[in-house]
């Protein structure tokens, strides 16, 4: 039960209730589907079916940017589905990836041979490509260009594993950094953000790399079970003969050393994340960008020096996620959140960890970048222990009632995810 996991965190309980009772609309207003064409409504249906992370914040974007980002996401989801499908032979997959952007202007193109769970975006690609062609030229140019670059990059890594740390950066650039660059160009094209946001490609690339590296680090065990390997050999070969050895209990110390090295590498992108977010002016764009980033730094904190990465699944609490989502709506609040999790990681750094010095150095650089002119507000509750105990008991009882009465209505929406 989600609320029980947050019993030691009263702020999370409050935010779970606030979110459940409609507070989610503060950052995720309800989408008006009645004014949409049938094909556009279908695209938003696919968005909610295929996106675990971004559907809600995409739907909260302002104006025509919302539709542009929705279509951008679905086009890249279709491309990614081709890449992920191991049943497609390479002699067919490589040309598909190289030419995928051209299918956007072929009205009837579809692919019906995929076995992936998200194959509907390929089987009904004509609906997606129709809505792509309905976008303004300024949006179509960005999506067409990024789709081409990403397809070529994905094809490059089909037959080779990530070796060096530079190759790790390159792979993450192709699959996520380009997304950040494309989104930034869309933000500027919409005129909701300054042209400089779209031109700052290095910062946008870091936004994508930070998210992608966090996912790769967290998903070690899942990827191993699926026969995938994204941890760079340059890192893991310092501590083991084989990447899969980290899942064995006798190799835990070595596994944690490699894990901490990779978390440290991911953290070096945080100063760029701070710089990027500081440039944003539109509230919906800021929410869209900031929420995944604070979720990522919370996830990295949970993963750092955590044996569970090699034994199961590391997830942040639902109450924690809701709290982050509802708080990360201003740069001041984001700085507070970053400071909190940087301090958490610092407290976990072992003096015997091989990457200790580098980790502390990067944490210091994040702290320096994150310093603001005004003192950071306290996130510690001032409520008395007696009051908190009573409040938590009431919250637990009330949550049971709310879950029972509203759970059946939550299917298909993104409030709880």
Within 10 angstroms of residue 7's Cβ, the number of other Cβ atoms is 17
Q: How far, in Å, CA of 195 to CA of 191, rounded?
A: 8
Contact call for residues 208 and 179 (beta carbons, < 8 A): yes
- Per DSSP, the residues of 339-402 read HHHHHHHHHH--TT-TTHHHHHHHHHHHHHHH--SSPPPP-S----HHHHHHHHHHHHHHHHHH
221/310 Cα distance (integer angstroms) = 6
- Residue 350 contacts by C-beta under 8 Å, 6 or more apart in sequence? 305, 356
Task: Tell me how far apart the terminal alpha carbons of the chain are, to the nearest angstrom.
Answer: 14
Give 88's DSSP letter: S
Give, in degrees to the nearest 5, the angle at Cα 152 between 124 and 129. Answer: 25
**Rounded Cα gap, residues 207 and 153, in angstroms:** 18
In order of 191, 208, 282, the CA distances from 197 in angstroms are: 10, 14, 12
Tokens 């996520």 identify what position?
176
72 class by beta-carbon count within 10 Å (0-12 exposed, 13-18 middle, 19+ buried): buried
- Assigned token pair, 10: 């009263």
Report how far residue 4's alpha carbon sits from residue 59's, in angstroms, rounded to the nearest whole number.
30
**162 in helix, strand or coil?**
coil
CA-closest candidate to residue 200, choices 277, 285, 282? 277
Q: Is 32 exposed, middle or buried (0-12, 13-18, 19+ CB in 10 A)?
A: exposed
Tell me the catalytic residues: 171, 218, 228, 288
């Amino acid at each position: 039960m989600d609320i029980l996991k947050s019993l030691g965190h009263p702020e999370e309980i409050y935010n779970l209730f606030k979110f459940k009772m409609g507070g989610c609309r503060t950052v995720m207003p309800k989408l008006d589907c009645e004014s949409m064409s049938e094909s556009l409504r279908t695209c938003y249906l696919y968005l909610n079916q295929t996106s675990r992370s971004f559907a809600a914040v995409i739907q909260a974007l302002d104006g025509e940017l919302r539709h542009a980002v929705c279509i951008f996401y679905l086009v890249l989801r279709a491309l990614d589905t081709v890449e992920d499908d191991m049943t497609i032979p390479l002699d067919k997959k490589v040309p598909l990836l190289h030419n995928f952007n051209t299918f956007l202007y072929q009205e009837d193109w579809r692919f019906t041979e995929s076995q992936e769970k998200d194959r509907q975006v390929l089987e009904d690609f004509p609906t997606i490509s129709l809505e792509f062609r309905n976008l303004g030229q300024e949006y179509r140019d960005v999506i067409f260009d990024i789709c081409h670059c990403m397809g070529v990059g994905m094809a490059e890594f089909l037959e080779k594993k990530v070796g060096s740390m530079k190759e790790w950066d390159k792979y993450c650039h192709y699959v996520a950094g380009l997304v950040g660059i494309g989104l930034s160009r869309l933000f500027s094209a919409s005129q909701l953000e300054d042209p400089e946001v779209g031109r700052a490609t290095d910062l946008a690339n870091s936004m994508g790399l930070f998210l992608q590296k966090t996912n790769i680090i967290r998903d070690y065990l899942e990827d191993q079970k699926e026969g995938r390997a994204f941890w760079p050999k340059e890192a893991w070969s310092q501590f083991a003969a084989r990447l899969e050895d980290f899942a064995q209990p006798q190799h835990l110390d070595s596994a944690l050393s490699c894990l901490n090295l990779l978390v440290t590498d991911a953290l070096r992108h945080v100063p760029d994340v701070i710089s990027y977010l500081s440039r944003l002016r539109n509230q919906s764009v800021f929410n869209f960008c900031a929420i995944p980033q604070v979720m990522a730094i919370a996830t990295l904190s949970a993963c750092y020096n955590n044996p569970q990465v090699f034994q199961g699944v590391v997830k942040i609490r639902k109450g924690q996620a809701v709290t982050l989502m509802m708080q990360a709506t201003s740069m001041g609040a984001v700085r507070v959140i970053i400071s909190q999790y940087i301090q958490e990681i610092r407290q976990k750094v072992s003096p015997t960890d091989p990457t200790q010095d580098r980790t502390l150095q990067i944490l210091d650089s994040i702290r320096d970048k994150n310093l603001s002119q005004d003192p950071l507000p306290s996130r510690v509750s001032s409520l008395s222990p007696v009051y908190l105990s009573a409040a938590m008991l009431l919250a637990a009882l009330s949550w049971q009632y709310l879950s029972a009465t509203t759970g059946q209505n939550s299917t298909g929406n993104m409030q709880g995810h």
